Chains A and B, each alone.
Chain A
């Protein structure tokens, strides 16, 4: 026979349908969203992983200052380290030989000349010639007739040959000595004597690009930066979402995300590097799934940055300098992150040494595993899914506790029935199973509907969110069993375990105790002492004490929702606040970074612009001390890129207060805030591709929040970084510089560069935050609704009784609703405070993982709104509560006369 108690479950669900409807709707939305995110994520990741193979994602790339010779590429492909010592010795010999030969020639000529002059003077003296003019004439005549012969004779003398040989030997010894001294430093610098080094063979492909200005509305003003590649089939291919690859030299295919963001369509014409191109395709490059212009960028920038494909002829027609970038594939693929790092380390040694011996400069090296533009999207997609899962589980746990309280109250109410059933022979297990059934059934219903919606509607939402954010290759739906487990088994387990714990604890008591309604676990002999307040207030206090578990859950829910509200209001505020202050964050309206300091003719790049001021800069790394939970995400490194500036004396753009000694620097306020440095602290910065580090002492702070930067006088910069006197890397200027050809300008940093992070974040998350604010409003109302419902139901009997005694509905409502109102108000304020503080720390922890810095900010209006939203939710529920109390009949108290 089927357990007749099962028949209670549908009746229970129907009997209290409002409560269960609220719960089921919430579960459906949460589980559906998580399920959709999981399926969306798995589909995206599958598309990216397939794309890595089919679209030939590089294993890494490097860039040389000059085009690499075939011999250099050949050497790099073999993966061997070059013998830099031999190269340096040979080079030293050559230079030394040249100098020795020159010195010998000069000395020989001097000695022969002096010999002839001495001989002629002696002869003149013998003939009694004293007239200096005559003597000089004799010397000139003799010199003219015999100089060459004398020189030849001297060269052939054994004495001379011996002297020459000694000179060369000595010079070579000097060279070897000098190289050996330098060599030890070099070995240490590049860790070249690594005994574990083994060649990493690679295949190298040219992957040249040009950084151009994009002007899509053709108004003569730069709208974005665009990185233009030649069409290729060999490496880092593009997936075309629309249109085709360019075939003519005036055709271009551009990133689809950028096109969508700025409103470029197929058939439009845009200006790239001043040249008109017709857009024929919208693509996503497998190595640019997120549009990070630089690998150190905090955030990608699908508005201000674009990648594009043109034909080789179209590429050659662009005027700016070519970046000699090369992509490579390992011949044997490393498996796992450790092996990838090891390969990259070995390959870098080969790259550095070969570039030295082939007289080229390595400008950039980026293994794919560290590449933001191809790793950010998958890591973000995974992070988002994990984040939503955690939020979902927290809310399921809250609902599970609400269920647990409801069941606990039901058990109290049904104590005598339970006692009777236990006395009649029902086992504890049967009753536990029975009381567990409702939450489990509700969760199952929520999970079933949620998953159906997740795999259909929410999946589309999630995929669209990602497609609207990243330049992802086309993808199909991947049916993920893991998603099903996460959205069914975990919520079910949470619900099961939390309720099991509460029910088992509750049903521990003996049948007799149930029959006697004696459900206290501890023997409290006296009533809780409360202050001598007015009767009504003491009554309210008793209600508070009676419902401590309910209020505990309510408090947790309120604090949780408040933290989320702080985030939903605070994130857009922080981004807007940062954006608003961006113009003040620049040293100058324009910061020109030059590609070199001389033009093609060897002349220094100068400007007539009187506003312009030279500066020097270089990029170093600061070793972060990170232990945070989000390690590995985003730029994810353990190092922070720091820009070091050399500032001219009396600069009008950057004010460095006192005169500084070598090793003393000013740091930006962002650097100070992010890592907590202050005056007198020491900072160690190191070079990226060299084992070279610098220690500086902080002597002051420059009020600059736009980046992590260090400032020192230009003279100090030149001496610290061993630069040539008078060298510089760019100009600060408040006026646009128009008299330097743009091909010499590497980048211009202006307001848009500072705000691109926040613009992109606002685009990706701004809309979502507004939705989140409303969802949280509903969530807070639902939570308060469920919990106050329990409180009122638990007190139905008493409410009915006080009605009989003559209390008015308004008085009863004031009795039962004021404690809740007090708790809601108090903990909304405390929750807001907690949320605000928590988010400051969370932001900080998050930003410590990323490059760059901005802090959490909330406007007064947002602070008020995050409190008002919660109170609006409560106000709505209060009305329902009042109606509930009003509807409780007086005979409720007369029904059970036990």
Chain B
């Protein structure tokens, strides 16, 4: 792996606070780390540790007070709103805790919403097949279970074949079994399509399936570990 690939995502002295005066709350207090290309990186931490804010800043939908995020050498702070939109369009895929599907589009169409954005999208039917949604592809979101909806949401994110797949508590609203299935799918996509995955979670167990684990607390990086003994998602227990 080249140096550039090793520093595919670089976070440097990132700071962010909300509110002013006495109500001021420092959410990120100088964060530094890098993520290599194709890595499955988990950001772990309790509520209020700044992990979602960090993810939003990496995703270009929030801005830091100071410090920078650089992707493949391009610093986000140098991009205007239009460039940021293009950055997200071409390089990022998003999976949220709530699936945020379009209610009056069916499964296939919701996945096409992602495919439309990409210059080199994956085959929609292949993605549906990978996600095990063949039997549901003409159903509307309200006809699906939570797990199925999250699969569609993953499909919508990965179909554009993004460089980085951003996952914000993707299993937060799901039961144990479904959560493992979803994690398995993300793992599968990571391996199959080679996307860099950045997953925010407060579930400690998920760290074992990651290549790279960053533990956050009170807005700083407490541990930055490379996991040499990762295990498949299907073997996770919590």
Contact A515 to B96, CB < 8 A, known contacts A423-B61, A424-B117, A425-B117: yes
Distance between A429 CB and nearest chain B CB, rounded to angstroms: 9
Interface of A is mostly: helix
Asked if B102 is an interface residue, CB under 8 A from chain A, the answer is yes
Contact with B along A8-28 (1 / 0, CB 8 A): 100110010000000000000
CB distance from B94 to the nearest CB of A (A): 5
Within 8 A of B (CB), among A400-432: 414, 416-417, 419-428
Q: A403 CA to B105 CA in the complex, in Å?
A: 21
A425 in contact with B157 given A4-B109, A7-B105, A417-B101 (CB within 8 Å): no
Judge if A5 is at the interface, Cβ distance under 8 Å.
yes
Q: Does A4 contact B113, Cβ atoms closer than 8 Å?
A: yes
Bound state CA distance, A2 and B116, in angstroms? 7
**Residue in A2, A15, A425, A898 whose beta carbon sits within 8 Å of that of B86 in the complex:** A425
A317 interface residue per 8 A CB criterion: no
What residues on A are CB-neighbors of B93 within 8 Å?
424
Cβ contact within 8 Å between A3 and B116: yes
**CA gap between A3 and B109 in the complex, in Å:** 10
Interface centre among B104, B109, B173 (most CB of A within 10 A): B104
Within residues 82 to 122 of chain B, which ones have a CB less than 8 A from any CB in chain A? Answer: 82, 85-90, 92-94, 96, 98, 100-105, 109, 112-117, 121
Q: Which of B85, B86, B105, B116 contacts A11 (CB 8 A)?
A: B105
In the assembled complex, how far is the CB of residue B169 from the closest CB belonging to chain A, in whole angstroms? 12
Q: Given known contacts A8-B105, A511-B61, is B96 in contact with A420 (CB within 8 Å)?
A: yes
Residues in B neighbouring A511, C-beta threshold 8 A:
61
What's the Cα separation between A7 and B103 when bound, in Å?
A: 12
Q: Kindly state the separation between the CA atoms of A422 and B87 in the bound complex, as whole angstroms.
A: 11
Determine whether A895 belongs to the interface, using a CB cutoff of 8 Å to chain B.
Answer: yes
In the complex, what residues of B have CB within 8 A of residue A419's CB? Answer: 61, 100
Q: Which residues of A contact B92 (CB under 8 A)?
A: 423-425
Q: B34 contacts which chain A residues (CB < 8 A)?
A: none
B142, CB-defined interface residue at 8 Å: yes
In angstroms, Cα B98 to Cα A477, docked, is 60
From residue 116 to 158 of chain B, which have CB atoms closer than 8 A to chain A?
116-117, 121, 142, 156-157
A3: which B residues are within 8 A, CB to CB? 116
Chain B, Cβ-Cβ closest to A420: B100
With A11-B104, A424-B157: A512-B62 Cβ-Cβ less than 8 Å: yes
Residue among A8, A511, A895 with the highest chain B CB neighbour number at 10 A: A511
Within the complex, which residue of A2, A4, A428 is in contact with B105, where a contact is CB–CB below 8 Å? A4
Asked whether B45 is an interface residue with its Cβ less than 8 Å from the other chain, the reply is no
Chain A residues near B115 (CB-CB < 8 A): 1, 4
How far, in whole Å, are A897 and B149 apart by their CA atoms in the complex?
Answer: 14
A652 to chain B, nearest CB (A): 83
Give the distance in Å from the alpha carbon of A195 to the alpha carbon of B85 in the complex. Answer: 75
**A425 touches which of B85, B96, B112, B142 (Cβ 8 Å):** B85
Bound Cα distance from A359 to B114, whole angstroms: 96
Question: With A8-B104, A8-B105, A512-B62 in contact, do A424 and B112 touch (Cβ < 8 Å)?
Answer: no
Complexed CA–CA distance, A857 and B85 (Å): 62
Interface presence of A510 (CB below 8 A)? yes
Instruction: Kindly provide the distance from the CB of B161 to the nearest chain A CB, expressed in whole angstroms.
Output: 13
- Contact with B85, one of A1, A2, A427 (Cβ below 8 angstroms): A427
A602 to B93, CA, bound (A): 110
CA distance A8 to B142 in the complex (A): 15
Q: Are A424 and B62 in contact (CB under 8 A)?
A: no
Measured CB to CB, the closest approach of chain A to B150, in angstroms, equals 13
CB 8 Å contact bits of A518-529 with B (1 = contact, 0 = none) = 000000000000
Q: Is B66 an interface residue (CB 8 A)?
A: no
In angstroms, Cα B103 to Cα A515, docked, is 16
Task: Answer yes or no: B188 CB below 8 A from chain A CBs.
Answer: no
Cβ of B190 within 8 Å of any chain A Cβ, yes or no, is no
Task: Give complex CA distance A88, B160 in Å.
Answer: 103
Q: Which residues of A contact B101 (CB under 8 A)?
A: 417
Contacts A424-B92, A424-B93, A515-B96 given: A4-B116 contact, CB under 8 Å?
yes
Q: How many A-B residue pairs have CB under 8 A?
A: 84
Most B-side CB within 10 Å, residue of A7, A8, A12, A423 = A423
A420 x B94 contact (CB < 8 A): yes
Give how many A residues have a beta carbon under 8 Å from the other chain's beta carbons: 30
Among candidates B61, B88, B112, residue contacting A515 with C-beta atoms closer than 8 Å: B61
User: For the complex, is B179 an interface residue (Cβ under 8 Å from A)?
Assistant: no
In the complex, the chain B residue whose C-beta lies closest to that of A14 is B104
Q: B56 on the interface (CB 8 Å rule)?
A: yes
> Bound complex: CA of A424 vs CA of B94, how far in Å?
6
Chain B minimum-CB-distance residue to A2 = B116
Inter-chain contact B89/A425, CB cutoff 8 Å: yes
CB distance from A523 to the nearest CB of B (A): 12
Please determine whether B113 and A425 come into contact, CB atoms closer than 8 angstroms.
no
- Which of B82, B88, B90, B156 gathers the greatest number of chain A CB atoms within 10 Å? B88
Whether A512 lies near B104 (C-beta < 8 A) is no
Choose one: A12, A15, A424; the contact of B89 (CB below 8 Å): A424
In the bound assembly, the distance between CA atoms of A7 and B102 in angstroms comes to 11
Interface string of A94-111 (1 = CB under 8 A from B): 000000000000000000
Chain B residues within an 8 Å CB radius of A426: 85, 89, 117
| Beta-carbon nearest neighbor of B88 in chain A | A425
B59 at the interface (CB under 8 A from A): yes
Distance in angstroms from B110 CB to nearest chain A CB is 8
Q: How far is the CB of A321 from chain B (nearest CB, A)?
A: 81
Contact B142 A895 (CB under 8 A): yes
Residues of chain A within 8 A of B102, CB atoms compared: 5, 8, 414, 417
Cα-based distance from A512 to B58 in the complex (angstroms):
13
Determine whether the beta carbon of A5 is less than 8 Å from that of B100: no
Give the residue name and chain of the B residue nearest to A12 (CB): B104
User: Shortest distance in angstroms between A322's beta carbon and chain B's nearest beta carbon?
Assistant: 80
Known: A423-B88, A424-B88. A1 touches B100 (CB 8 A): no
Cα separation A2 to B56 with both chains bound (whole Å)? 29
Contact residue among B56, B89, B113 (Cβ-Cβ distance under 8 Å from A512): B56
A420 surroundings in chain B (CB, below 8 A): 94, 96, 100
A1 near B98 with CB under 8 A, answer no
Q: In whole angstroms, what is the CA distance A1 to B92 when docked?
A: 19
- Chain A's closest residue to B121 (CB) is A1
Tell me the complex Cα distance, A422–B117, Å: 11
Task: List the B side residues contacting A428 at CB < 8 Å.
Answer: 85
Q: Which of B61, B112, B157 contacts A4 (CB 8 A)?
A: B112
Instruction: Give CA–CA (A425, B113) in the complex, Å.
Output: 11
The answer for the CA separation of A142 and B141 in the assembled complex, in Å, is 146
B108 to chain A minimum Cβ distance, whole angstroms, is 9
Are A15 and B114 within 8 A (Cβ)? no
What CA separation (Å) do A494 and B183 show in the bound complex? 50
CA distance A676 to B223 in the complex (A): 91
Whole-angstrom distance between the alpha carbons of A846 and B201 in the complex? Answer: 73
Known contacts A4-B113, A8-B104, A419-B100; decide if A510 and B88 are in contact (CB<8 Å): no
Bound state CA distance, A11 and B89, in angstroms?
26
| Residues on the A chain within 8 Å of B103, using CB | 414
Measured between beta carbons, the chain B residues less than 8 angstroms from A422 are 61, 85, 88
Contacts of B157 in A (CB 8 A): 424
State which residues 5-61 of B face A: CB under 8 Å: 56, 59, 61
Q: Nearest chain-A residue to B112 (Cβ)?
A: A4
| Interface-centre pick from B61, B89, B115 (highest chain A CB count, 10 A) | B61
Known A8-B105, A414-B103, A510-B61; further 8 A-B contacts with Cβ < 8 A: A416-B100, A417-B102, A419-B61, A419-B100, A424-B93, A425-B87, A427-B89, A512-B62
Nearest first, the 8 closest Cβ-Cβ pairs linking A and B are: A425-B89, A4-B112, A425-B88, A420-B100, A511-B61, A11-B104, A416-B100, A423-B94
29 A-B residue pairs with CB within 8 Å: A1-B112, A2-B116, A3-B116, A4-B105, A4-B113, A5-B116, A7-B109, A8-B105, A11-B104, A414-B102, A417-B101, A417-B102, A421-B113, A422-B61, A423-B61, A423-B88, A424-B93, A424-B156, A424-B160, A425-B87, A425-B92, A426-B85, A426-B89, A426-B117, A427-B82, A427-B89, A428-B85, A510-B61, A515-B96
Which residues of A approach B to under 8 Å, CB–CB? 1-5, 7-8, 11-12, 15, 414, 416-417, 419-428, 510-512, 515, 895, 897-898
